[in-house]
Structure 1
Amino acid sequence: MFDPHTLNDISSGSNINDIGQTQLKNLQRSLSWMTYPISKVDGLIGPNTRSAFAEYKVDIGESDVSTVTTGAKDLAIHNIEKTQNILNSDVSSEEKTKSAIAAVCENLGIGLKTQIAYVLATTKWETNHTFEPVREAYWKSEAWRRNNFRYYPYYGRGYVQLTWRSNYQKYYHIMREPLVGDPDLAMDPKIALMVLVHGFKMGGFTGRKITDYINESRTDYKNARRCINGLNKWREIKEIAEGFEAEL
């Protein structure tokens, strides 16, 4: 798991345009963990990284948007460790899993009751009502998946289906978990939980974000399905989401 304390390898007062590639990768990872829009963790400075860092600095009330300060590092470490602590929650039962999902949603900025209800509904549907990470075509054998999935071994795994090598690689770079070399790690609940909530917040599955459809002024449980899989089974998931919304 990514160690946010690597941010302390960056000297306070450094300009982000002047720090080394490894240090910049750790800064990019940190911003991504906090759901700032980093397109790629590559250690290269450019408009995307500058913009994401500037947004973070403004959010924490610092006006110098290019300087890495002690306060900016400390707050990022605190925020990331808070998320990581939640990811390590006990998920040994359905109720505990739902509580962990809700807590990560709140911590990553999609904490409206309607947003949490929809993430829970999607998890329930995608895991066949088990609230446990599943494999794509879980009712088939591994040999069947090897012979039938052109993207094998990077088939879907998790609370939602993390699929394709590029997506495994993306979350490897963010989380520092060796998902490319061992894609079965996507079945680890803490990794699956991060992928689920981070993907919903950032549009990591289809490019559509949950906030595009469910926010303070809009609750569109139909089109929120586009975050995951077009409009496939949207009615069933909408009904489940409405049930969770009433419970929360």
Structure 2
Amino acid sequence: MERSKLYASLRTTLFKGGVTQAQVSGIEGILDAFMTHGDGKPDTLAYALATAYHETGGRMVPVREGFASSDASARAAVNKLAAKRGPKSAVAKYAKPTGPYNHVYYGRGQVQLTWLDNYQKSSADAGVDLVKEPDKMLDPVVSARVLIKGLLDGRWNGAKKGLRFYLDNGDVVQARRTVNVLDKAETIAGYFQHFLAAVNAAGSPAPKPEMPPSATPTKKAGWLEVLAALIIALFPGRSK
């Protein structure tokens, strides 16, 4: 994949003002995570990038909900939103401290991971205990890995349907169900088209390394072959 071509394409669409260093860092993290945890398909990568673009407000780096600069300000923001939407809203439920560490599991990362249960389910992929340390979702490596794995395995989908279920059926709008039902689904589908064009312009996102001729596996010699070779070496005149 020629990443320079990807950025050149994005500069003509979603990033017309130019791509900042922070945005580059966020995109690079997703590309790297896709190389190790993705499925090698351009449209999967494009949808992951489109999701991050939407959830981070175009920043492409992991953020707290409401783009808060600290845990305290994020808690204040979700409480304010909860008060606005009412005590029966989903926000009101996850705005409350919960779990063994009394954390608030508001949206964090490039996918805006919410709810204690989801932090728990994603800990294995993160490589850290996200229940104990939810702010680890602000780590770009952790965030990108959870984004890719979560989209693919459908862990945030009530029907346990991953991204390929929707993309293989050509339904980019419905693919939003892998993250947050159909919230802003058509808008994200629009972002997806721009990212897909950029990914396709850059080439295969996960090329399979070709084995050089010198590394081609050879048949392991048996003990009789080894013995024969030894005899020939010791008695060259008796090789026939």
Q: Does 1:192 align with 2:143?
A: yes
The corresponding residue for 2:186 is 235
CA distance in 2, matches of 1:174, 1:246: 29
The corresponding residue for 1:143 is 76
Deviation at 1:107, TM superposition (A): 2.8
Between the aligned residues of both structures, percent identity stands at: 33
Q: Give 3-state SS (helix, strand or coil) of 2:151's partner.
A: helix
The answer as to whether partners of 2:63 and 2:108 remain within 8 angstroms in 1 is yes
Corresponding residue to 2:113 among 152, 162, 187? 162
The corresponding residue for 2:4 is none
Compared with structure 1, are the counterparts of its residues 193 and 143 closer, same or farther at alpha carbon in structure 2 (3 Å cutoff)? Answer: same
Residue 120 of structure 2 aligns to which amino acid in structure 1? Q
Deviation at 1:198, TM superposition (A): 0.7
The answer as to whether partners of 2:125 and 2:145 remain within 8 angstroms in 1 is no
Q: Does 1:100 align with 2:29?
A: yes
Compared with structure 1, are the counterparts of its residues 126 and 170 closer, same or farther at alpha carbon in structure 2 (3 Å cutoff)? Answer: same
The answer as to whether partners of 1:117 and 1:245 remain within 8 angstroms in 2 is yes
Corresponding residue to 2:177 among 205, 226, 240? 226
Deviation at 1:176, TM superposition (A): 3.9
Deviation at 1:219, TM superposition (A): 3.1
- Greater shift, 175-184 or 197-206, is seen at 175-184
The corresponding residue for 1:214 is 167
Note the 1:1-150 alignment, pairs <5 A. 93-138=22-67, 141-145=74-78, 148=82, 149-150=92-93
Per-residue deviation, residues 1-24 of structure 1 (Å, max 9, x unmatched): xxxxxxxxxxxxxxxxxxxxxxxx
Question: Which portions of structure 1, spanning 4 or more consecutive aligned residues, are displaced by more than 4 angstroms?
Answer: none
Q: Does 1:180 align with 2:180?
A: no
Q: Give 3-state SS (helix, strand or coil) of 1:201's partner.
A: helix
The corresponding residue for 1:247 is 198
Residue 104 of structure 1 aligns to which amino acid in structure 2? A
CA distance in 2, matches of 1:99, 1:190: 10
Q: Name structure 1 gaps, 5 residues minimum.
A: 1-90
Q: Which has the larger radius of gyration?
A: 2
1 or 2 for the larger relative contact order (CA 8 Å, sep ≥6)?
2
Residue 36 of structure 2 aligns to which amino acid in structure 1? N
TM-score (norm 1): 0.56
Residue 175 of structure 2 aligns to which amino acid in structure 1? A
TM-score (norm 2): 0.58
CA distance in 2, matches of 1:96, 1:141: 23
The answer as to whether partners of 1:108 and 1:201 remain within 8 angstroms in 2 is no
Per-residue deviation, residues 111-130 of structure 1 (Å, max 9, x unmatched): 21111111111110010011
Per-residue deviation, residues 31-75 of structure 1 (Å, max 9, x unmatched): xxxxxxxxxxxxxxxxxxxxxxxxxxxxxxxxxxxxxxxxxxxxx
Q: Give 3-state SS (helix, strand or coil) of 2:155's partner.
A: coil
CA distance in 1, matches of 2:152, 2:75: 31
The corresponding residue for 1:60 is none
CA distance in 1, matches of 2:106, 2:24: 27
Give the RMSD, CA atoms, in angstroms: 2.3
Q: Name structure 2 gaps, 5 residues minimum.
A: 1-19, 83-91, 97-103, 200-240
The answer as to whether partners of 1:102 and 1:111 remain within 8 angstroms in 2 is no
